[in-house]
Amino acid sequence: MRGGPDLCGPRTWTWLQDGRWGWGWHDPAWALTACPFHRYFRVILLLLLALTLLLLARFLHSDLELDTPLFGGQAEGPPVTNIMFLKTHKTAGSTVLNILYRFAETHNLSVALPAGSRVHLGYPWLFLARYVEGVGSQQRFNIMCNHLRFNLPQVQKVMPNDTFYFSILRNPVFQLESSFIYYKTYAPAFGGAPSLDAFLASPRTFYNDSRHLRNVYAKNNMWFDFGFDPNAQCEEGYVRARIAEVERRFQLVLIAEHLDESLVLLRRRLRWALDDVVAFRLNSRSARSVARLSPETRERARSWCALDWRLYEHFNRTLWAQLRAELGPRRLRGEVERLRARRRELATLCLQDGGALKNRTQIRDPRLRPYQSGKADILGYNLRPGLDNQTLGVCQRLVMPELQYMARLYALQFPEKPRKNIPFLGA
């Protein structure tokens, strides 16, 4: 009532909260402190303000993550620097190797490199510690990632106890197709077969178990790289026991078909900055050297490489279970997009012709030409001209093929020793 007492102060004709003109308080500040209704309204306003600040902080935090390790549920601490990467063959391992080489160089870490004139760590023989340059001296090693066949007791003689172990797998059908092209002139089983279709139609015609050290690329090659017998029977108890071995030792197994998602999880586990895991595709083939496989050939490949297939199936499921548990779909999409956006930025900065891959004859700088093998046409990059020295160094490391980068690190770590000879660079 107009004539009644005003419990919330003196009123006048004013604009009311319900959107009408009416009889209300001319002193809103007084009303907020004296009127119970307005005290509740003030609490709501403060809650809305707090929510707005929280959302703003989350947005700013996401922006900062471009240059800092991931947060949100992961253990805080310094970046992991003791790392063993089991580089399996024809699985995008060269791209991961480049990531590790760059991290080692940037952070002045020591890499377990092949001794003397070798370019790998004894592959295809089981790894021995003596294959590493400087082992047995006072030299300490942070990163091991060159080609080797896994042999845990010998690896442990080289790497610290707190080493983070990880590896990578690829769909065995496509891994075998890539191996057939790449090792066509090396593996006897492939050399005698006119095509992968012909090989898989009758593999025993071409494959001989007794020559398996040269034929390791022709059957269950990833299983072999983990140190297991590629010619073993695919019996359930045996397979489960070997997979359990891998799970006990390797904290993470990446999947080549989902490399960006894998790198997001790797970055999280290692507590690295975003730029540490950004990479360009290395050691990839031209489309003309990739064979199309019929559904029948694919099924034969899965059957021929049954051990690899079981390994791949298991760790593909494991990767996605870890991604769901640690990140969830929404955050995973956001992190993958940040990774890809940064890769596009670096491609624009570093690469000529929009980052188009080039064949060997088109690559101007011979130091950036990748090794060619078998029937494969391995591609590389040209850098943009006119880059300043600092940017040029960053860009060169991003596109440097693995043999050249291995030789570079060897010269930096062992300046007193003869340089590694990379014969094809002079060809």
Long-range contacts of 242-249 (CB under 8 A, 24+ apart): 243/310, 243/311, 243/314, 246/167, 246/311, 246/315, 247/318, 249/152, 249/165
| Neighbour tally for 63: CB within 10 Å | 10
What does DSSP say about strands 83-86 and 21-25: parallel, antiparallel, or unpaired? unpaired
Residues 375 and 290: their CA atoms lie apart, in Å, by 10
pLDDT at 58: 53
Residues 419 and 117: their CA atoms lie apart, in Å, by 8
Mean pLDDT, rounded, for 153-157: 96
Helices of type H across 271-387: 274-277, 295-304, 306-326, 329-350
pLDDT confidence of 208, banded at 50, 70, 90? confident
Question: What is the per-residue pLDDT across 310-350, written as a single tens digit (0 to 9) for each?
Answer: 999 999 999 999 999 999 999 999 999 999 999 999 999 99
> Given a cut of 60, is residue 241 above it in pLDDT?
yes
pLDDT at 289: 84
Model pTM score = 0.82
> Given a cut of 60, is residue 352 above it in pLDDT?
yes
- Provide the angle, in degrees to the nearest 10, between the axes of the packed helices 389-399 and 329-350: 120
> Given a cut of 60, is residue 57 above it in pLDDT?
no
Domains and CATH numbers, the chain: 83-350+402-413 (3.40.50.300)
pLDDT confidence of 70, banded at 50, 70, 90? very low
